[in-house]
Amino acid sequence: MAGHIQDRWYKTETDTNGKTVRVKTDRHGTGMRYRARYVGPDGTEKSKSFPDGQKRIAEKWLSGIEADMSRGQYIDPRAGRLTVRQHAERWLASLTMDPGTYVSTEQRIRLHVLPHLGSRSLDSLRPIHIREWLRKLEDGGVAAAYQRVIFANLNAMLAAAVDDRLIPYNPCRSSSVRAPKPEARRIVPWSRERVLAVRSALPERYRAMVDLAGGCGMRQGEVLGLAVEDVDFVEGVVHVVRQVKLIAGRQVFALPKGGKSRTVPLPESVARALEAHTAQYPPAAVRLPWRSVDGAPATAALFFRNAEGRPVIRTVFNEKAWRPALDTAGVPRGRENGMHALRHFYASVLLDAGESIKALSEYLGHHDPGFTLRTYTHLMPSSEKRTREAVNRAFEGGADADDGPTTAQAA
């Protein structure tokens, strides 16, 4: 055993006869009797004290420490004394991510994790504490979907503590801890009539935003960041290469969500709407920081600006233009009727026309076609409907029908 157990109640001395004898120390009968001592991987001595009668327990503890070191699984018992707040500060400072994502992550940790768990030491965290914390979030009225995001942030933070050998395991991953599950919501796409009604109710300078979101599947920030050089009217495509986003209340240019650019078809109806908008509200160069509030300035000739000629602020647009338009069109306010509803409308139109999930996923800028399928599978035409239509075309379409045995054999 590389370490050793020190008995602080007794010491060995050599008597006048040259024999080694045990004698009581000044500490005899007071305080912890045994001290298990060892040298850690960093070369410093570490120890833990045990009371009288627990020498075997001390030896067992020391054996466990040495076994962990030999397996490369050693964790300094003092490392977990960091509080959750102290670890959160170090973890946040070490993150390398999109500045906007960082601000959101820091805000969730600061507002929803630290007030409840911040003063607790890392090594004292148990699954019961995570379960109680989740219950407080629920009782506090935090939406289930947002609870899930907050939980994912805490889970990642504690996983880093495990990787850094601060704690032996992550209590968020205990079998008794269940990640919040948002209520399953089936997306009900807007009708064409609703889309047109909301479009008509918007201020004229913003109406073409509906055409781009509903006709090209673009996100709100991507529409606000669309520039003249991104649209190819000849080839009939839109290059989605930037968005306008808010970081700590300040506007910046950034790549689309997920850092992924894409190219989507430009329908003729959307092109005409955009050309009409351009004739009435000519695009103008706008200068914003790139990616972060202190990033290098970038310039783009944006299609959409506010009445003062400045970039449209998403939150102001939603409050002053979008929600009043919903009221005028008789559409209830709410998260499900935000501008994102136009992307759902776009998806429903393409799926009803028989477009593939893979193509739709690419047009929407999703990271995974599986996500697109899970989100919109209920909007896909049923196999029974497709079967009836295919057979009807084969029997009723005459010699020019696209479906039938001749076509199948040729394929």
Domains of the chain: 3-71 (no CATH), 84-173 (1.10.150.130), 192-379 (1.10.443.10)
Residues in Cβ contact with 93 at an 8 Å cutoff, skipping those fewer than 6 apart: none
Contacts 24+ apart (CB under 8 A), 5-13: 5/34, 5/35, 5/36, 5/37, 5/55, 5/58, 5/59, 5/62, 6/34, 6/35, 6/36, 6/37, 7/33, 7/34, 7/55, 8/32, 8/33, 8/34, 8/35, 9/33, 9/52
pLDDT at position 185 is 79
CB 158 within 8 A of CB 125: yes
**pLDDT for 319:** 97
Taking alpha carbons only, the member of 199, 188, 192, 253 closest to residue 226 is: 253
pLDDT at 380: 82
Distance CA 390, CA 408 (A): 12
Tell me, rounded to whole angstroms, the distance of Cα 375 from its chain centroid. Answer: 17
Q: Are 80 and 171 in contact (CB under 8 A)?
A: no
Position 407 scores a pLDDT of 39
Average pLDDT over residues 296-318: 95
Q: Phi, psi at residue 20, to the nearest 5°?
A: -85, 125
Kindly state the average pLDDT of the residues 55-76.
85
Please count the other Cβ atoms lying within 10 Å of the Cβ belonging to residue 361.
20
Helix axes 99-108, 144-163, angle to 10 degrees: 100
Q: Which residues of 298-308 are buried (b: 16+ CB within 10 A; e: fewer)?
A: eebebbbbbee
The per-residue pLDDT for range 356-408, each reduced to its tens digit, is: 999 999 999 999 999 999 899 888 876 666 677 777 777 876 545 454 444 34
Strand partners, 4: 37
Residue 149's identity, in one-letter code, is V
Q: Is the pLDDT of residue 207 over 90?
A: yes
For 246-280, what is each residue's pLDDT tens digit? 998 899 999 999 889 999 999 999 999 999 999 99
How far is Cα 240 from Cα 79, in angstroms, rounded to an integer?
Answer: 47
pLDDT of residue 301 exceeding 90: yes
How many whole angstroms separate alpha carbon 360 and alpha carbon 376?
Answer: 10
Q: How far apart are CA 11 and CA 21, in angstroms?
A: 8
Q: What is the CA radius of gyration of the chain?
A: 32
Q: What is 60-100 written as a DSSP string?
A: HHHHHHHHHHHHT----TTGGGSBHHHHHHHHHHH--S-HH
- Averaged pLDDT, 162-168: 90
Is a pLDDT exceeding 70 seen at residue 201?
yes
Distance (Å, whole) CA 64 – CA 150: 35
Cβ within 8 Å of residue 380, ≥6 positions away:
351, 357
Q: Indicate the SS3 state at residue 168.
A: coil
**DSSP per-residue codes, 276-311:** HHHHHS--EEEEEEBSSTTSPEEEEEES-B-TTSSB
Tokens of 136: 């407080």
DSSP string for 182-221:
PPP----PPPHHHHHHHHHHS-GGGHHHHHHHHHH---HH
> pTM of the full predicted structure?
0.73
Strand 45-50 relative to strand 34-39: parallel, antiparallel, unpaired?
Answer: antiparallel
Cα 110 from Cα 118, distance rounded (Å): 9
Q: Quick one: average pLDDT of 282-304?
A: 95
Lowest mean pLDDT among 38-47, 75-84, 159-168, 259-268: 75-84
